[in-house]
Amino acid sequence: MSKFDYKKIMPRYTVIAVLMAIAAVAVVAKSFYIMTVKRDYWEKVASRQKADSVTVKPMRGNILSSDGQLMASSLPEYKLFMDFKTLHEAGNDSLWEASVDTICKQLNRIFPEKSAAQFRSDLEAGRQKQHRHWAVWSKRVDYNTKEAVMKLPVFNLKSIRGGFHVEEFNARRRPFGSLAGRTVGDLYGAKDTARFGLELSYDSVLRGTEGITHRRKVMNHYLSIVDTPPVDGADIVTTLDVNIQDLAERCILDELKAINGNVGVVIVMEVATGDIKAIVNMEKCPDGVYRERKNHAVSDLLEPGSVFKTASILVALDDGVVDTTYMVATGGGVWNMHGRNMKDHNWTRGGYGTISLPRSLEVSSNIGVSRIIDDHYGKNPEKFVEGIYRTGLADDLQIPLFGSTPARIRMPRKAANGQYENWSKTALPWMSIGYETQVPPISTLTFYNAIANNGKMMRPRFVKEVQKDGVTIAEYPPFVMRNRIAKESTIKTMQTILTHVVSQGLGKKAGSKSFAVAGKTGTAQISQGAGGYKSGVTNYLLSFCGFFPADNPRYSCIVCIQKAGLPASGGGMCGPVFRNVAEGIMAQNLKLLVSDARDSSSILLPDVKYGNLTAANIVLSRLGFKTQGNSGSHQETPVWGYVSREKTGMNMKQDKIYGKQYVPTVLGMGARDAVYMLEGRGVKVKLSGRGKVVEQSLPAGHKIAKGDVCILRLN
């Protein structure tokens, strides 16, 4: 008989199976309930326990000047928040209530703009809402302020107990303030997005690469696990010179304020390399203050005026159609050019009459230059424009600044019938003197820089290299755009003419007594669009472009000023700015020898204080000075006295020596000798001031008593 009792065992297994089935159905039902009805709740819970693919922002690279000074850097800033839900769950509500008055008073001390009562009202509103991310202070704060807040009650607890937490941001700071602001650039606040300038052009280099982490809560602690570490941005080294930039800004601002100008531009370029050492773009704002709002230096497409005449004459000389002996008639200052009168600036005084080609540039004769070009290129204007293109004026300089644009110089175009479609008979004469074209200041400067560089045209360079942790990882060497813009003889001739423009022409105010300057003035009316040149008050573009020193050019510079109404003079208003910038730059680079400072009034012998003649004799002898008189050089005890300067050397005179029981004179001594002499006689010394002894409280010859104190005043 089988030991298995089917009737007794099977009911038990059935009950167990039913119970397990019921439990399984309950688990499935509960799971379904959680997945549907409670889904949102548990997703919020899960989000507090973990965070996947959290981006970690890298540190943005720095922008440095040519000598390594910081022009833009990233510094950490913080926003302060309170998690009142965490504070409640941690059971610290009573601690908050006991500390809230102290917290608010201390917050008022740190942030005086907001009263303690306002802080309390604001924080209590967040606590009533049980807000998890309530702003303690609405603005970003620096590291020191954040640390001060974290020392307050409750805020000094760990975030999982007190709820206080911070968010870190990379704030962009410029140590030199607004200096070269439009060129260096800026970012959009909390977005860390570049707006303009080098910040925008080199954003991919400066930004770096974001990292990725994920967060898990383990044993009431949040752990951040790095999946991909962030790669900090690299630094860029610009060509800008902080000192030259500051000098240029101050010079143009002084002139703009003096003449009530609207816009002022200064660019300084290094001749040999094309390095931009300074670039200023000052503009008068509605509140009357001058600021940098737009990079006029690279984006202003305006008719350049008379600074363009240099290119016109250069083309004519290079083509060989004229030479420096060529004479041109300018009449009485007014000349009819194809039905339209052209005037020289002195037409009311009778003009210049017949003048030479160099003189036409020296006095900036509109008639002289336009007649030269029209007489030799009037039937073939394409050849003239091709010559202008050959100078590089219309080249795309590839400036790494947002808004930059190349010059616009139109080429004559003929239709099928042989007639010009976009050209008139007056186009060429007026183009030759700087109208009918649009040239930004930096293109004009690049052209003049090529003349200074013996015909070699350099691309303007703003960034020299990219560095990472002090190591150069990329270089941007000087780039030659054109090896020669004209024949060598033509360049030499033009250098001479431009030097004469300053020495004996209209550019005299740009000249310096210390070194030769070469350049050209420019004064042009600014077209008012559809209104032409005569719409309301006439606006002028004044300019001076040149290089220095003229005999061995190191720097080229352009100064442009836009102003409304008369008086308006490129030489008279831009010339002084150019001179001040040039002299300031040359003074910064001036190195003097000690021998150059010697003259008949120089004092070449040192001044020796009253004191130990023995020690003084040793020092003077080692320095090569002749000494005479009693120095006690062969005595073991020091000799005290004066040293006077004589024509034959240093004369040492021994002073009267008092006995040990008397106070000696220490007037004129240094502190060390005076203290040594007095304390050697048992007198206590107190010092006041620094320098030589000018007064002693115990007179010389005073008999010393025990406990005597002598107060010495030094000056």
Q: Are residues 223 and 250 in the same domain?
A: no
Answer with the residue of higher pLDDT: 385 or 24.
Answer: 385
Compute CA distances 249 → 27, 119, 487, whole Å: 78, 44, 36
pLDDT at 209 over 60: yes
Residue 525 tokens read as: 């009316």
Residue 264 lies in a domain: yes
**What confidence score (pLDDT) does residue 624 get?**
72
Q: Are residues 349 and 205 in the same domain?
A: no
Residue 406 tokens read as: 């190349």
**DSSP secondary structure, 218-273, as one string:** ETTEEEEEEEE--BPPPEEEES--HHHHHHHHHHHHHHHHHHT-SEEEEEEEETTT
Q: Please tell me the number of Cα atoms within 13 Å of 137 on its side-chain side.
A: 28
Mean pLDDT for 614-643 is 69
The pTM of the whole model exceeds 0.75? no
Q: Are residues 187 and 260 in the same domain?
A: no
pLDDT at 318 over 50: yes
- DSSP β-ladder status, 263-270 and 276-284: antiparallel
Question: What contacts 24+ positions apart, CB below 8 Å, involve 253-260?
Answer: 253/282, 253/290, 255/561, 255/573, 255/574, 255/576, 255/577, 256/282, 256/284, 256/290, 256/561, 257/290, 259/561, 259/563, 259/573, 260/563
**Percent above pLDDT 90 for the chain:** 55
**What confidence score (pLDDT) does residue 367 get?**
96
User: In this structure, are residues 227 and 212 in contact, taking their beta carbons and an 8 Å threshold?
Assistant: yes
**What confidence score (pLDDT) does residue 508 get?**
95
Mean pLDDT for 30-43 is 80
**What's the CA gap between 290 and 550, in Å, rounded?**
32
Lowest mean pLDDT among 85-89, 340-344, 639-643: 639-643
Q: How confident is the model at residue 332 (pLDDT cuts 50, 70, 90)?
A: very high
**What confidence score (pLDDT) does residue 432 get?**
95
**What confidence score (pLDDT) does residue 382 get?**
94
Q: How many CB atoms lie within 10 A of CB 165?
A: 18
Mean pLDDT for 153-170 is 87
Residue 602 lies in a domain: no
Mean pLDDT for 547-574 is 95
Residue 43 lies in a domain: no
Compute CA distances 526 → 137, 522, 541, 702, whole Å: 50, 12, 6, 87
pLDDT at 389 over 60: yes
Residue 595 tokens read as: 């021998």
User: In this structure, are residues 294 and 285 in contact, taking their beta carbons and an 8 Å threshold?
Assistant: no
Where among 553, 588, 623 does a domain terminate?
Answer: 588
Lowest mean pLDDT among 160-174, 182-196, 551-565: 182-196
Q: How confident is the model at residue 336 (pLDDT cuts 50, 70, 90)?
A: very high
Element (H, E) at 612: strand 611-612
> 503-536: per-residue pLDDT in tens?
999 999 999 999 999 999 999 998 765 555 555 6
Answer with the residue of higher pLDDT: 216 or 116.
Answer: 116
Q: Are residues 313 and 362 in the same domain?
A: yes
**What's the CA gap between 197 and 190, in Å, rounded?**
18
Mean pLDDT for 58-66 is 90
**What's the CA gap between 478 and 665, in Å, rounded?**
69
Q: Are residues 231 and 270 in the same domain?
A: no
Q: Are residues 420 and 480 in the same domain?
A: yes
pLDDT at 375 over 80: yes
CA max distance for the chain: 149
Matching residue, tokens 């008593």 = 705
**What confidence score (pLDDT) does residue 618 get?**
77
Report the CATH number at residue 144.
Answer: 3.90.1310.10
Residue 604 lies in a domain: no
φ, ψ (nearest 5 deg) of residue 491: -65, -45
**What confidence score (pLDDT) does residue 419 get?**
85
Q: 127-145 b/e with 16+ CB inside 10 Å = b?
A: beeebbebebbeebbeeeb
Q: 152-164 b/e with 16+ CB inside 10 Å = b?
A: bbbbebebebbbb
Question: What contacts 24+ positions apart, CB below 8 Å, involve 571-574?
Answer: 571/506, 571/507, 571/508, 571/509, 571/510, 571/521, 571/544, 572/509, 573/255, 573/259, 573/261, 573/542, 574/255, 574/510, 574/521, 574/522, 574/542, 574/543, 574/544
Q: Are residues 283 and 331 in the same domain?
A: yes
φ, ψ (nearest 5 deg) of residue 515: -160, 160
Lowest mean pLDDT among 191-195, 340-344, 428-432, 649-653: 649-653
**What confidence score (pLDDT) does residue 215 get?**
67
**What confidence score (pLDDT) does residue 1 get?**
46
User: In this structure, are residues 364 and 352 in contact, taking their beta carbons and an 8 Å threshold?
Assistant: no
Q: 598-635 b/e with 16+ CB inside 10 Å = b?
A: eeeeeeebeebbbbbbbebbeebeeeebebebebbeee
**What confidence score (pLDDT) does residue 108 get?**
93
Start-to-end CA distance of the chain, whole Å, equals 129
Mean pLDDT for 118-123 is 93
Q: Are residues 357 and 498 in the same domain?
A: yes
pLDDT at 614 over 80: no
**What confidence score (pLDDT) does residue 601 get?**
53
Where among 237, 266, 290 does a domain terminate?
Answer: 237
Mean pLDDT for 201-225 is 76
Matching residue, tokens 């870190």 = 168
pLDDT at 469 over 70: yes
Q: What is the mean pLDDT of the chain?
A: 87
pLDDT at 240 over 60: yes
Residues in the chain: 715
Residue 46 lies in a domain: no
pLDDT at 214 over 80: no
Residue 599 lies in a domain: no
Helices (H) and strands (E) in the chain, counts: 22, 31
Report the CATH number at residue 656.
Answer: 3.30.10.20
Answer with the residue of higher pLDDT: 213 or 275.
Answer: 275
User: In this structure, are residues 667 and 675 in contact, taking their beta carbons and an 8 Å threshold?
Assistant: no
H runs (alpha helix) in 454-601: 488-504, 575-588
Q: How many CB atoms lie within 10 A of CB 501?
A: 28
Q: Which residues lie across from 183 on neighbouring strands?
A: none
Residue 295 lies in a domain: yes
User: Helix axis angle, 381-390 relative to 309-319, nearest 10°?
Assistant: 110
**What's the CA gap between 630 and 635, in Å, rounded?**
11
How is residue 393 annotated by DSSP?
Answer: T
| Domains identified in the chain, total number | 4
Q: 361-381 b/e with 16+ CB inside 10 Å = b?
A: bbbbbbbbbbbbbbebbeeeb
Residue 664 lies in a domain: yes
**What confidence score (pLDDT) does residue 119 get?**
93
Range of the domain at 710: 611-714
φ, ψ (nearest 5 deg) of residue 680: -65, -20
**What confidence score (pLDDT) does residue 504 get?**
94
**What's the CA gap between 506 and 525, in Å, rounded?**
18
**What confidence score (pLDDT) does residue 226 get?**
75
Residue 308 tokens read as: 């363009």
Residue 536 tokens read as: 């309301």
Element (H, E) at 110: helix 93-110
> 441-458: per-residue pLDDT in tens?
999 999 999 999 999 999
- DSSP β-ladder status, 709-714 and 684-689: parallel
Q: Are residues 416 and 558 in the same domain?
A: yes
Q: Are residues 247 and 206 in the same domain?
A: no
Q: Are residues 58 and 105 in the same domain?
A: yes
CA 682 from chain centre, in angstroms, equals 61
Mean pLDDT for 589-604 is 56
Q: How confident is the model at residue 691 (pLDDT cuts 50, 70, 90)?
A: confident
Q: Are residues 570 and 641 in the same domain?
A: no
> 257-270: per-residue pLDDT in tens?
999 999 999 999 99
**What's the CA gap between 381 and 413, in Å, rounded?**
10
Q: Is the peptide bond before 406 cis (omega within 30 degrees of 0)?
A: no
> 470-481: per-residue pLDDT in tens?
899 999 999 999
Compute CA distances 467 → 29, 32, 171, 197, whole Å: 62, 58, 21, 19
Residue 594 tokens read as: 């000690």
Mean pLDDT for 668-690 is 83
Matching residue, tokens 């200064």 = 266
**Percent above pLDDT 70 for the chain:** 89
Q: 395-418 b/e with 16+ CB inside 10 Å = b?
A: bebebbbbebebbebeebeeeeee
**What confidence score (pLDDT) does residue 479 get?**
96
φ, ψ (nearest 5 deg) of residue 498: -65, -30
